[in-house]
Every structure is written in C-alpha cells, then in structure tokens.
Amino acid sequence: MTADLTVTTTSTSYPVVVQAGALASLPTRLEALGLRGALWLVCDGAVETLYAAPVAERLRGAGFVVHTYSVPPGDASKSSARLSDLHTWMIADGVERRDAVLALGGGVVGDLAGFAAATILRGIAVVQMPTTLLSMVDAAVGGKTGINHALGKNLIGAFHQPRLVLADTDTLSSLPPHALREGWAEVIKHGVIRDAGLFVELERIAEARGWDNARPGGLWDAADAALTATLSGLIRRAVAVKVEVVSIDEFERGERITLNYGHTIGHAVEQLSHYGLLHGEAVAVGMHAEARIAQLMGMCDGDLVERQAALIHAYGLRTALPAYDVDAILALTMRDKKVQAKKIRWVLPAAIGTVQVRDDVPEELLRRALQA
C-alpha cells in the first residue's frame, strides 16, 4: 500500500489516499475517523450505477445508514437551484450534525456536495471521493466548494475541508476519452507551477510514445494495463503539489493563488462557451494564453511557451483560443476571484516549476497575447 498524503493546516489535518481499489476501504476509514452518523451520498448519473450503488451496498453491509442522491452530469448542476434541492432532500430526511456527506464523482459533484455539506446545519463532515483525473489532482483536495453564478464561475462558495479524500485510480478506466484528456491539463499545470521534475517526466513519457496524441484519451489510454502503475504514480505526484500548497495556504491568501495558473483566461473561455468546453480544455487554452502574457512581459522565453504547448498537445488538448471577442474575455476576467483593488492578479510562469503573481499587466499587452 502507498502511504497516504496528508493535508495539514492551522485548522485541520486529513489524509489524501491515491490508490487502486481505494473505495473498498471506505467503511473501515469512516470508522477510524469516528464518522458513524447517517451518510448522504451525492453522485452524478455517470457513476450512479458503476460506483455509487456498490459503495452504498458495501456501507450498508458494514452497518451504515446511507441516503443516495444523483444529479445530472455537467456544470449546469453547480447551481443555486440544485443546491436548494440537496438542502431540501437532507432536511426532509432528517439530517443531523453528526452525519457526513459523501461526494462521489467529478469536480462538479465535489464542489456542489461540498458546498451543501458546508452550509447544511452550519456545516457537517464531507468526504471527497473523486472519480475523474481532473478532480483527483485538483478539485477534491483543499476544501474549495461552491456553485456558479450567471455572472461567473465559482463565485459563490465556501472553504470546507474534507475529513478524507479517497481517490480510487481504478475508476479512471471507465472515463470517456474526453474526460481523461481534460484531466491532463491540471497535471501539466502542477508541473509548470511547482514541480519541474513532474513536467520533465511527462515529457519523457510523451517522447517514449512518439508524441502521438491521436489516441482517444490523448497520449494515454486508461485501459492500458501496462501503464496503470505509472499512471497512479503520476497522479500521486501531481496531488502532492496540491497537498503541499494547501498545507501552506489554506484560504488562498498567498501561495495558493499559484494553483490558479491558466484559470483566469480559462474560466472566461469556459463561460463564453456556455460550458461546452470542459474545464480542463479551457484551462489548457488559458495556460497557453497566460504563458504568452509572461513572454510578452519578459518573464520567460519562447522555449517555455513552446515546451508547454507541445506537452499540452501531446496529451490530447488544444491551445488555440476559440473565436471569442477579446473585449468579452477581458470583461469576464475582471470578475475573477483573484481581482484585488480592481487589478487582476495574474499567475505567470517564469520557468518550468516556477511562477510569479503580477498585477501590473497592461491591457494592451493582454490584447496582444489574446489576439496572437
């Protein structure tokens, strides 16, 4: 068994498990954490039959009371209406403060169910059980929860740290190719912002496989058993970056802002697509645009931009900005959560493994980068 990672902040500490077959240990782990109240299992339609039903059966067999609620897949479920439905479901069925919410699925479920846990009865425990690559390496760790607003993505929410993160890498074998592809954006991001060795390892794998991104899942095929051990190791290394950053800065007052690399442009593009672009697809585009901004600012050279773009392409993602109006993109960036004193705080790469936060990017330079 691989040793658990641990998030340790001033307010809490909890294990992060990245392991094949991890879901089988859920009853034992809940017992060890003292979570013996009713369990409110929230999933989406994509995992309801595959994973939610077996998990609920295993928990009931161990003596737990389990309630299950399924939401439609997709960002549309991160809404105030869906949050209200969850609150009504739990209140009507007698939720108590000793209970726990189990979030089983991708980032949408994790954000929505986590926010429901943060707000019901002024907060009950939540356990995050991500089943997508993107949610494993990013969304499930760190306690960010929330829903979207008509004026922007993730603008309503709360920090609510989980009691446990249980990432079962076996669940990746059932991901559709596009969902596997989008997760690589966050893995690559973690290499750019903090772990140059991870970035080089991703390049090494791409080189060994001929930089061939023609596979349905990009460079990777989750059903390729020969790659399973390597895949789990890469995921764990990427998760370790998030664990380290959150442990330093729980509430995004400093270091944690670096995790938003690619997200300022990415969130704008995602919203303009009416969420037709997946989150990771939009982040990949945002990373390329923001690397161009860094190049124009004289912070990095063209080699960094080209290496990053080549790696993004190798893992099946694109870097080209969709044909959206530049003014519309810039207007949405001003609603970004990182805006401070009416200035956008941009996370920009200085070298592979190192980023800086800048609030002095001229608008004309932004336009040049986006138009390019």
C-alpha angle 190-343-266 in degrees, rounded to nearest 5: 40
Instruction: Name the token pair of 172.
Output: 């990746």
Is 252 a known active-site residue? yes
> 214 has which bridge partners?
none
Under 8 Å between Cβ of 200 and 50: no
List beta partners, residue 145: 158
Asked about 288 being catalytic, the answer comes back as no
DSSP 261-321: TTHHHHHHHHHHTTT-S-HHHHHHHHHHHHHHHHHHTTSS-HHHHHHHHHHHHHTT---PP
User: Out of 78, 190, 242, 288, which one is annotated catalytic?
Assistant: 242
Q: Is 260 a catalytic residue?
A: yes
Catalytic residue among 153, 279, 292, 313: 279
Question: What backbone phi and psi angles, to 5 degrees, belong to 337?
Answer: -65, -15
Q: Which residues contact 289 (CB under 8 A, 6 or more apart)?
A: 265, 321, 369, 370
The one catalytic residue in 78, 160, 181, 263 is: 263
Q: How far is CA 101 from the centre of its chain?
A: 19
> What backbone phi and psi angles, to 5 degrees, belong to 175?
-70, 140
Q: For the chain, how far is it from start to end, CA to CA, in angstroms?
A: 48
Q: How far apart are CA 345 and CA 361, in angstroms?
A: 9
Q: Is 263 annotated in the active site?
A: yes
Which residue from 191, 196, 86, 82 is spatially nearest to 137, judged by alpha carbons?
A: 191
> Is 67 known to be catalytic?
no
List 153, 160, 182, 186, catalytic entry: 186
- Tell me, yes or no, if 364 is annotated catalytic: no
Cβ-based neighbour number of residue 249 at 10 Å: 16
Burial bucket for residue 356 (CB in 10 Å: 0-12, 13-18, 19+): middle
Find the catalytic residue in 190, 194, 236, 267. 267
Catalytic residue among 260, 270, 288, 290: 260
Integer CA distances (angstroms), 291 to 13, 16, 117, 204, in order: 34, 30, 36, 21
Enzyme catalytic residues: 122, 144, 186, 242, 252, 256, 260, 263, 267, 279
